[in-house]
């Protein structure tokens, strides 16, 4: 899948969660508002050529300009790097052949190899701005039942058989309330979850995992990947709550939105959901034996903590990046090597990434609160 329609916390607000491969549809991570950026160290001096891209300007710098470069566990990048090298962009073919031949003995060896093979470039906007925004996304893990039963009554659907015949298709409100629209979904149920908010989080993230109780009493975990949508516009429920005066802009995280819909104002839950006419449909997939992450727009599995979504007009898929940002709700530095392996509708601009935190509740908490200042460097073959 590609995380189509990607997130969260910041991303779910919608207030401001791709290479030669053809990406699958991208996640609907709405663009968050730009935070007030704290003071960041001045950008490094230019020390070499400039690469002009459609959406960015890359300025060659020295390795010493990358803050914290010597402190990252660089060898941890190798699984993500090898995944990307399974479908290498043209400039990376020779380097990828070398990457496939060894596993770094330690972080120092990995760092030395990258420094020998690559050159660092400061990523800037076309106007020279080098400060940007980091948000986060994740793969939800949701309890489900194959059949409707107490506590599991909300269906998750495959694409309707007549989806291609009606453009645009029924809205979310129509699919919930009109008999003819509801009929189109009959027989397309994959499984049943506890809340419409579980469906919404899957739709915004574009994929997820279901821990399913089967009719025979067994339990298994499957992945649901993006299967299509109803051709209706995406509207942020976070933005709607802010406009309604229900949440403050600085407090509209995903946990706050879920709490509002489930406990504070459940009588208005449908009103909130129907403010977003976009509906995403899914297809069921078995989990791979290696338990790898969902596939990003590059077409390779994402690696928790080492894969990011980017604007491919600014950063080509497969590019190693050095991040200088901070942990969610914290001033603790988050400086590490990552791979550009995905994109999202809201991920636009040169210095802009969506950081993949992984699967499950802990990843949700981190992703749901991430809205951090960012500086970014790209590493490119010499």
Residue with tokens 């969902």, as numbered in its chain: 294
Residue 254 has pLDDT above 90, yes or no: no
pLDDT of residue 36: 43
For 70, 324, 326, 329, 373, the CA distances from 332, given in Å and listed in that order, are 17, 11, 5, 9, 12
pLDDT of residue 47: 55
Min mean pLDDT across 37-46, 124-133, 164-173, 319-328 is at 37-46
Question: 80 and 339 in contact (C-beta within 8 Å)?
Answer: yes
pLDDT of residue 289: 81
Residue 183 has pLDDT above 60, yes or no: yes
**Rounded distance, CA 321 to CA 325, Å?**
12
Domain ranges of the chain: 10-133+303-381, 138-286
**Rounded distance, CA 220 to CA 236, Å?**
32
The band of 38, judged by pLDDT with boundaries at 50, 70 and 90, is very low
**Rounded distance, CA 257 to CA 239, Å?**
11
CA dihedral for 301, 20, 325, 82, sign (positive or negative): positive
- Shortest CA distance to 363 belongs to which of 110, 176, 186, 142? 142
ω into residue 93 within 30 of 0, thus cis? no
Q: Which CATH superfamily is domain 10-133+303-381 in?
A: RlpA-like domain (2.40.40.10)
Q: How many CA atoms lie within 13 A of 128 on its CB side?
A: 5
Min mean pLDDT across 97-101, 185-189, 223-227, 289-293 is at 289-293
Class of domain 138-286: mainly beta
pLDDT of residue 206: 84
CA dihedral for 224, 225, 230, 233, sign (positive or negative): positive
**Rounded distance, CA 65 to CA 160, Å?**
52
**Rounded distance, CA 339 to CA 297, Å?**
12
Q: Between residues 355 and 288, which one has the greater pLDDT?
A: 355
Whole-structure pTM value: 0.80
């Amino acid at each position: 899948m590609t995380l189509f329609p990607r997130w969260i916390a910041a991303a779910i607000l919608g207030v401001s969660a791709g290479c030669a491969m053809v990406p699958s549809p991208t996640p609907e991570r709405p663009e968050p508002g730009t935070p007030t950026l704290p003071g960041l160290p001045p950008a490094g001096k230019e020390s070499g050529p400039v690469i002009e891209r459609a959406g960015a300007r890359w300025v060659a710098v020295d390795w010493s300009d990358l803050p914290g470069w010597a402190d990252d566990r660089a060898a941890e990048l190798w699984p993500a790097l090898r995944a990307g090298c399974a479908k290498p962009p043209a400039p990376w073919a020779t380097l990828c052949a070398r990457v496939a031949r060894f596993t770094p003995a330690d972080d120092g060896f990995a760092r030395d190899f990258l420094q020998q093979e690559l050159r660092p470039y400061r990523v800037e906007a076309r106007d020279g701005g080098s400060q940007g925004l980091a948000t986060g996304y994740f793969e939800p893990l949701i309890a489900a039942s194959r059949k409707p039963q107490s506590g599991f009554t909300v269906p998750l659907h495959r694409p309707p058989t007549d989806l291609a015949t009606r453009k645009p298709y029924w809205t979310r409100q129509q699919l919930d309330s009109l008999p003819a629209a509801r009929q189109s979904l009959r027989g397309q149920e994959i499984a049943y979850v506890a809340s419409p908010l579980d469906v919404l989080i899957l739709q915004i993230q574009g994929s997820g995992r279901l821990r399913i109780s089967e009719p025979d009493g067994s339990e298994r975990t499957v992945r649901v990947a993006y299967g299509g949508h109803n051709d209706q516009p995406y509207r942020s429920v976070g933005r709607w709550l802010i406009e309604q005066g229900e949440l403050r802009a600085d407090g509209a995280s995903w946990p706050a939105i879920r709490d509002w819909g489930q406990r504070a104002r459940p009588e208005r839950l449908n009103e909130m959901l129907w403010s977003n006419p976009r509906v995403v449909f899914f297809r069921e997939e078995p989990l791979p034996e290696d338990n790898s992450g969902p596939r990003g727009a590059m077409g390779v599995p994402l690696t928790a903590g080492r894969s990011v979504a980017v604007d491919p007009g600014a950063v080509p898929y497969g590019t190693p990046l050095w991040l200088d940002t901070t942990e969610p709700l914290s001033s603790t530095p988050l400086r590490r090597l990552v791979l550009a392996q995905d994109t999202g509708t809201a991920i636009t601009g040169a210095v802009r990434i969506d950081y993949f935190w992984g699967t499950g509740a802990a990843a949700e908490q981190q992703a749901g609160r991430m809205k951090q200042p960012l500086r970014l460097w790209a590493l490119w073959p010499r």
